[in-house]
Amino acid sequence: MAHEVTLIEGDGVGPEVIRAAQRVVDASGVSIAWDKCEAGAKVFRKGLATGVPQATIDSLKRTRIALKGPLETPVGYGEKSANVTLRALFDTYANVRPVRHLPGIAGPFADRAIDFVVVRENVEDLYVGMEYGQTPSVAEALKLITRKGSEKIIRFAFELARAEGRHKVHCATKANILKLTEGLFKHVFENVSQDYPDIESTHLIIDNCAHQMVMRPEIFDVIVTTNLHGDIISDLASGLTGGLGIAPSANIGDSVAIFEAVHGSAPDIAGLNSANPIAILLSSVLMLRHLNEFEAAHLIEAAIFYTLGTQKAFPRDLDKISTLTTAAFTDYVIDNLGKASDFQQSRPYRSMHLPQTTTPEPEPNVSRKDVGVDIFIESTSPVETLGKHLEEMALPSPFTLKMISNRGIQVYPDLNGIQPDLADHWRARFFLQEECAPLNDFQVLQLVRVIGEHYRWMHIEKLAEFDHTPAYTKAQGES
């Protein structure tokens, strides 16, 4: 039976490279019923603000698989890109970016046996898009990491390692600085890794990961990381092996998977029949494996290796003197289907088990105690004046001012000998006196009301202890 796949040509070079992928996949012998749908610039120009028509959404709900060209948001149309719309609609939480040296492609890393996969959490972190102007001169973004989201992507990374016959998973975080958010991701990694004793697991700090990726890229097999780090290191990684023209990707959710090249619409070369189709061809290979069509995936991958490594035929971005058009390079790949390449052959791929998270949320057995509040206020007063004033205001309340910080550094009661450059955005930390526990909302609102008579407050954070452990971090210099 034919697999139904939603086909979105996209913008710029999209139609040229998607046509190449369609031709190669069809020639590989696998039976695909392509459902051609629209998204992107054309759709925005018709006046649809999401860039994705209902017919495309319905098609994806039915087929659950898409092969997609790059999408543009034309200037003056749409508030969000069509890619963001698709990601949000189908909750594609895993962004998978294989990074592999391909035969015949020159470059400073050509002899380094690079062959790893970056698995990027694709939904949470700073990309939740919760940003707030705190004062006219201070802005804030919330970095949201959940245990459930972390567990899902980390299990995904281990399952991918197993499905591709890989042996190591590195988890890259900034847990040394962001102890609660990135720390949670690291903690979940350490727990989940115990369920995969057959896979070696290592945590490393993201900056070291970036360094190692350049110094010793051959040590990596699978790297799992949070959204923003993944965004950056996956682009760094594709730069190691030959750039955008050859970088494939998959966006995987519980119900839908979207396969696409990493590159954009390349408007500078659109319509010239010169775009490199390898990135979308390798994305098609990922799609075929997702459909359990391992034989067809292997045929296409080997044909690309043969074309580059044995036949030395290259698209123009990889060889400036090449005269091969997109269509002509595609013809070579089709002609080479079935030819064996002497380049390292495919891995022992097998179907991947998509993880189901097991952690109930919220966790039932964790004790909770609220011990105080941080109140964020706007002020241009000198720190001593502000500190004394807040202390006075807290006197009749059940709270004691513990400290004030500015840009994360304690500035009151002690400056700790430093002279920080101050902003008009302060965090005042109040602890509830033990004898007044447990903390209740009325106590908090009373304090906020009193402070609010003198200062503009922006937000309040409760200071909680979970299982008797502080669930807040200390300011720099706070005892």
- Any idea which residues carry the catalytic annotation? 127, 174, 207, 231, 235
CA distance 78 to 101: 38
Phi, psi at 286, each rounded to 5°: -60, -40
The pair of three-digit structure tokens given for residue 462, joined into one six-digit string: 């409760």
* Helix H or strand E encompassing 157: helix 147-163
Residue reference for tokens 């109040």: 430
Beta strands in 299-386 (DSSP E): 368-378
CA distance 281 to 247: 10
Would you say 189 and 154 are in contact if contact means Cβ atoms under 8 Å apart? yes
Based on CB atoms, which residue is closest to ligand NAD, 276 or 405?
Answer: 276
Residues 6+ apart with CB under 8 A from 468: 367, 369
Would you say 349 and 294 are in contact if contact means Cβ atoms under 8 Å apart? yes
Minimum separation from the CB atom of position 334 to ligand NAD (A) = 18
Minimum separation from the CB atom of position 93 to ligand NAD (A) = 17
Based on CB atoms, which residue is closest to ligand NAD, 17 or 308?
Answer: 17
* Helix H or strand E encompassing 90: helix 82-90
Based on CB atoms, which residue is closest to ligand NAD, 126 or 269?
Answer: 269
Output the CA torsion sign for 82, 86, 87, 89: positive
CA distance 298 to 288: 9
Minimum separation from the CB atom of position 265 to ligand NAD (A) = 4
CA angle in degrees (0–180, nearest 5) for 331-260-73: 115
Minimum separation from the CB atom of position 246 to ligand NAD (A) = 8
Residue whose CB is nearest to ligand NAD in the complex, by number = 264
Based on CB atoms, which residue is closest to ligand NAD, 229 or 263?
Answer: 263
Minimum separation from the CB atom of position 54 to ligand NAD (A) = 20
Cβ neighbours around 134 below 10 Å, total: 17
Q: Which residues of this protein are in contact with ligand NAD, per CB under 6 A? A: 13, 17, 70-72, 83, 244-245, 260, 263-269, 275-276, 279, 317
Minimum separation from the CB atom of position 60 to ligand NAD (A) = 15
Minimum separation from the CB atom of position 50 to ligand NAD (A) = 14
User: What are the CA-CA distances from residue 438 to residues 52, 206, 444 (Å)?
Assistant: 50, 40, 12
411-419: long-range contacts (C-beta < 8 A, 24 or more apart)?
411/383, 412/383, 412/384, 412/386, 412/387, 413/387, 414/477, 415/383, 416/477, 418/477
Based on CB atoms, which residue is closest to ligand NAD, 60 or 71?
Answer: 71
Minimum separation from the CB atom of position 84 to ligand NAD (A) = 10
Based on CB atoms, which residue is closest to ligand NAD, 70 or 230?
Answer: 70
Task: Specify which residues 401 forms β-bridges with.
Answer: 430
**251 in the Ramachandran plot: left (φ > 0), alpha (ψ -120 to 50) or beta?**
beta
Count of all residues that appear for the chain in the document: 479
Cβ neighbours around 447 below 10 Å, total: 23
Based on CB atoms, which residue is closest to ligand NAD, 268 or 435?
Answer: 268
Minimum separation from the CB atom of position 161 to ligand NAD (A) = 25
Based on CB atoms, which residue is closest to ligand NAD, 150 or 238?
Answer: 238
Cα Rg of the chain (Å, integer): 27
**153 in the Ramachandran plot: left (φ > 0), alpha (ψ -120 to 50) or beta?**
alpha
